[in-house]
Amino acid sequence: MGKHKKKKMNQEILVVEDETAIRSMINFSLSRAGFQVKEAKNVEQAKEQINNKSPDLVLIDWMLPDESGLELAKSIKQDEVTKGIGIIMLTAKAEERDKIAGFESGADDYVTKPFSQHELVARIKAVLRRTSYGEEEQLVSGPIVIDLKSYRILINDEEVHFGPTEFKLLKFFIMNEGRVYSRSQLLDRVWGRSVFVEERTVDVHIRRLRSILEKYDLNDAIKTVRGAGYRFDL
């Protein structure tokens, strides 16, 4: 048997912690659990990382050298583009009122130091299940089924080939059905902020996506919202 490389969607976790030893330990156990791990040692670095590419979840230490981890959590949850990112606050504070402040900042969960690596991984998986489609195998909208395990798209049970960008676009639209996205938001979320692409590139790929969908009488699925952007609705 030849070597088999499994395609897997590794979910990305950003660990924001100023203590190197704890950061490395968390990185080690999360990597072992199959996550892609990025690190930041303060709020500034964390914001840079998030702007560059949205992770699926951010683990935030409460006490950070430049700003409070709570402020970082708030800013993530207040930004339209990043508010879907899961947040777990990490802290030595175990008092009830701190916990409340943590949740008010928009954190999805709260882990008190010292914690076991096993517990941390379990909590992360639970938050990811609530905040993303990461654990799901299929995304379904009307006659469209996206199989996330095999990266295949079926329409009316027939496999349809999409280019990589059209694939990502359609997946994004189905995950966010009914919401309007501007071209620049689509660039951020589908292409990633680190990539420089002109806004009209979005239109090109929308056109390609529409022309594929048209063959299945789904040409109306992607709506142009005047002055706002695009919305997927089936």
**CB of residue 93 vs Ca ion: minimum separation in angstroms?**
11
Of 63 and 145, the one with the shorter C-beta distance to Ca ion is 63
Strand locations in 94-166 (E): 109-112, 138-141, 144-147, 152-155, 158-160
Beta carbon nearer to Ca ion, 41 or 205: 41
Q: Residue 122 carries which side chain, given as an amino acid letter?
A: A
Q: Kindly state the smallest distance separating residue 21's Cβ from Ca ion, in Å.
A: 11
Q: Which residue lies nearest Ca ion, judged by its C-beta? A: 63
- Cis preceding linkage at 114, omega within 30: yes
For 79, residues 6+ apart whose C-beta sits below 8 A from its C-beta are: none
Q: Collapsing DSSP states into helix, strand and coil, what is residue 223?
A: strand
**Cβ-based neighbours of 44, under 8 Å, separated by 6 or more:** 66, 67
CA nearest to 18, candidates 159, 158, 113, 101:
113
Q: Is 98 in the site for Ca ion (CB under 5 A)?
A: no
Residues 50-69 contacting Ca ion, CB under 5 A: 61, 63
Q: Select 12 or 61, whichever has its Cβ closest to Ca ion.
A: 61
Between CA 13 and CA 80 the distance in angstroms is 19
Least distance (Å) between residue 63 CB and Ca ion: 4
Residue 18 found at the interface with Ca ion (CB under 5 A): yes
82: its two tokens? 């990043």
39 binds Ca ion (CB under 5 A): no
Interface with Ca ion (CB under 5 A), residue total 3
* Closest CB to Ca ion among residues 63, 234: 63
The nearest distance, CB 62 to Ca ion, in angstroms, is 7
Residues of this chain that interact with Ca ion (CB under 5 A) are: 18, 61, 63
